[in-house]
């Protein structure tokens, strides 16, 4: 029996599976995207760790929790009932609110890489409906959608899944900032530790929202994402 088949028979430990999905070393390309942060730094709008922390807090409450988290919530509502088209409609609603082409492309690339990885990481997880919908143009296979589907299939509770996703958003942003502003690893980790409770609080603020009520309210960040592709020099793809 080969290793792949053997792993398919092993029981999944949900909380450990979640740790792997949240690992910054997961090769889905998150390290390649700053999602507008690089623009804000180059334009002098964000140059200190205090400004960075304020920016991440705002993104948590006005973008990541109110938009991406709604796709994850829809996955938990719709997948058990087989309501895939309703789920894909929420994904499209959220995704088309991303004004910048680079940002939409980055979120799609990360999702599709995660979709490919899942077959090797967790062969027990049935990714077929999303893979087929992607092929047929019914789904964009965006990162929050694939992440949400994986968490549903792995038996991870909704609250842990959303808080974990928001934590990943925080870590990705801080890791990008470490390459852009004068800030050391110790300070970066301190900021992450201070922001972790904010991820839980952001979810509490939106947990009663219907997925169809998803919205984002970070115009300065959206404009930075749009302007990124015209920067003279860039470290990041978005």
Average pLDDT, the chain: 92
Mean pLDDT of 121-148: 96
pLDDT at 24: 83
Please tell me the total count of domains within the chain: 1
CA of residue 69 relative to chain centroid, distance: 8
Mean pLDDT of 162-177: 95
Mean pLDDT of 51-67: 97
Q: Determine the 3-state secondary structure of 224 from DSSP.
A: helix
pLDDT at 103: 93
Q: How far apart are CA 194 and CA 191, in angstroms?
A: 5
Residue 75 reports pLDDT greater than 90: yes
In a domain, 133, yes or no: yes
In a domain, 191, yes or no: yes
Q: Decide: 236 and 93 in contact? Cβ < 8 Å.
A: no
Cβ neighbours around 218 below 10 Å, total: 19
pLDDT at 234: 80
CA of residue 203 relative to chain centroid, distance: 14
pLDDT at 1: 42
In a domain, 3, yes or no: no
In a domain, 6, yes or no: no
In a domain, 42, yes or no: no
The range of the structural domain enclosing residue 158 comes to: 61-227
The pLDDT tens digits for 29-48 are 887 889 999 999 999 999 99
Residue 83 reports pLDDT greater than 90: yes
In a domain, 11, yes or no: no
pTM recorded for the entire structure: 0.93
The CATH number linked to 223 is: 1.10.4190.10
Residue 128 reports pLDDT greater than 60: yes
């Amino acid at each position: 029996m080969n290793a792949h088949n053997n792993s398919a028979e092993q029981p999944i430990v949900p909380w450990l599976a979640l740790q792997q999905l949240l690992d910054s070393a997961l090769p889905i390309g998150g390290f390649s995207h700053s999602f507008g942060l690089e623009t804000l730094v180059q334009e002098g709008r964000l140059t200190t760790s205090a400004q960075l922390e304020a920016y991440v807090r705002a993104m948590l409450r006005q973008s990541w929790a109110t938009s991406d988290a709604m796709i994850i919530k829809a996955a938990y509502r719709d997948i058990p009932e087989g309501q895939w088209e309703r789920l894909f409609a929420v994904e499209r609603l959220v995704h088309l609110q991303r004004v910048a082409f680079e940002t939409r492309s980055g979120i799609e690339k990360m999702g599709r890489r995660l979709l490919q990885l899942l077959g090797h990481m967790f062969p027990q997880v049935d990714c077929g409906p999303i893979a087929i919908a992607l092929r047929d143009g019914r789904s964009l296979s965006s990162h929050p959608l694939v992440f949400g589907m994986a968490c549903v299939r792995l038996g991870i509770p909704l609250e842990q899944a959303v808080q974990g996703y928001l934590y990943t958003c925080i870590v990705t942003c801080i890791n990008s900032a470490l390459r852009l502003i004068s800030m050391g690893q110790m300070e970066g980790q301190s900021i992450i530790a201070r922001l972790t409770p904010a991820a839980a609080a952001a979810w509490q603020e939106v947990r009663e929202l219907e997925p169809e009520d998803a919205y984002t309210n970070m115009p300065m960040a959206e404009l930075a994402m749009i302007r990124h592709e015209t920067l003279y020099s860039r470290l990041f793809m978005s």
